[in-house]
Amino acid sequence: MTDSTGGKAGRARDAIRELLDAGQSVWLDYIHRGILKSGEFKRMVEGGIRGVTSNPTIFEKAITGSHDYDEQISRLAADGKSTTEIYEALVVDDIRAAADTLRPVHDATGGADGFVSVEVSPLLAHDTEGTIQEVRRWNTLIGRPNVMVKIPGTAEGFPAIEEMIAEGRHINITLLFSIDAYRKVQEAYLRGLERRVAAGQPVHQISSVASFFVSRIDTEADKRLEARAAAAPPEQAEALRALRGKVAVANAKLAYRLFQETFGGARWKALASRGARVQRPLWASTSTKNPAYPDLLYVETLVGRDTINTLPPQTIEALRDHGRVAPDAVTQGVDEADRVFAKLHELGLSIDAITQAVLDAGVQAFADSFNQLMKAISSRGQDVKAGGRR
C-alpha cells in the first residue's frame, strides 16, 4: 500500500474525498493484523477511509495466509484454550484495534460513521435466536461503541434484525442480493425503530447499513446468460449476450431507488423527526471479477448520497490511479435498469433464481471459510500440545 502522504496516495485521498463530497463513504473490505500493527490502516483512515468490514473469508485468509497470528495462537493453545476461544480472541483483538483507529472518525461524525463490522457465525444463518444471542455476545466481548455486528439477509435473519435494532444496537445486514430481501430488511429496521419510539426510547444514536452485494450477481447472471445463448438461435443469443455485465448494476440502481422511496416517505419522516438515521445502502463485493469488464465498474456507477462502498486494497489502488467520481451516478439510467430486468424476464431468466443462487452460495462460502479456519486453528493447537510448531 502506498504511503498516504505522497505519490499515488495523494490521488487516492482526492478520489476518496470526492466520494465523501458526493455523500458516499469508503470502507476498507479487508482486515489483517499486519496493517493494524504497522500503522498502514491508520494512514488509510487519515486519508479518508471511514470504516472497515470483515467476514469469515477475510479472517480465514488473514489468519491462515500469514504468520502474524502464530504467536497468539500458540500461546492461547498452550494455555489450554479451545479452538473457539482462540478464534474469538484473534477476532476480538483485530476488531478492537480497527475500532480504536476509527474512533476519531466515529466521534467527529457524531456516531454516524467510523464503524468496523464483525459477522455472526455463518453457521447461524438460519437460526434466529442463535443470531440474536451471538450479536449480544459479540457486543459484550468487543466492548467498543463503533462496532456493527453483521446479520445475514436470510428469512431467519429478518426478525433478528428487528429485535437488535429495537435493542438499540448497530447492525450491518449482509448477503443482500434481491430487491425483495432488501425491502424486508428496511421493514425490519423501521419496525425496530418504531418499537423504540413506542417504548419511549431514543433512536438518534442507532446506525445501520444494508450490504447489497453487486459483482456476484453478474457472475451468476452471466453464466446463465451464456448457457442460454449457447443453445439459442442467433438473434436471441445476441440479445442474451447483450445483457452480460449489466444485471448487477441494474439490480443495485433499483435497490437505491427503493432506498429513496422508503426513506423519503411519511413513515420515515415521523422517525426522522425524532433524530433517526437512514439505513445506508452499502455496496459490497464491488471488485470486478470478470477481467473483460472495467476494474471500477461497480464503483463509478454506484456513487450516491447516503451510501457506502466497501473496497478491497486492489480496488482502492485502482481508484487512486484512475478513478472518476460522478456525483449521483447511481440515480442515472434507472429506466435502463428497468429495461434490463424486463428483457431478462422476456428471455426467460429469473432474477429471483439468480439472487437466491448467489445467496445460498454466499452463505455456504462463508460457512466453508469459517470451518476451514477453525480446522487450521485446531491443527495449530494440537501441534503446540504435542510440543512442536509448524
Nearest to 352 by CA among 363, 341, 362, 361: 341
DSSP 8-state secondary structure symbol assigned to residue 39: S
d(CA 93, CA 194) in angstroms, rounded, equals: 34
Q: Cβ of 361: how many Cβ atoms within 10 Å? A: 15
- What would the grid cell of residue 339 be? 429495461
Exposed/middle/buried for residue 141 (C-beta within 10 Å: 0-12, 13-18, 19+): middle
- What would the grid cell of residue 111 be? 456516531
> Which amino acid makes up residue 196?
R
Q: Could you confirm whether 42 is annotated as catalytic?
A: no
Catalytic residue among 42, 150, 184, 253: 150
d(CA 373, CA 59) in angstroms, rounded, equals: 8
Beta strands 147-152 and 51-52, pairing class? unpaired
Exposed/middle/buried for residue 138 (C-beta within 10 Å: 0-12, 13-18, 19+): buried
- Vertex 41 angle, CA 39 and 47, to 5°: 105
DSSP 8-state secondary structure symbol assigned to residue 124: G
Q: Catalytic residue positions?
A: 150
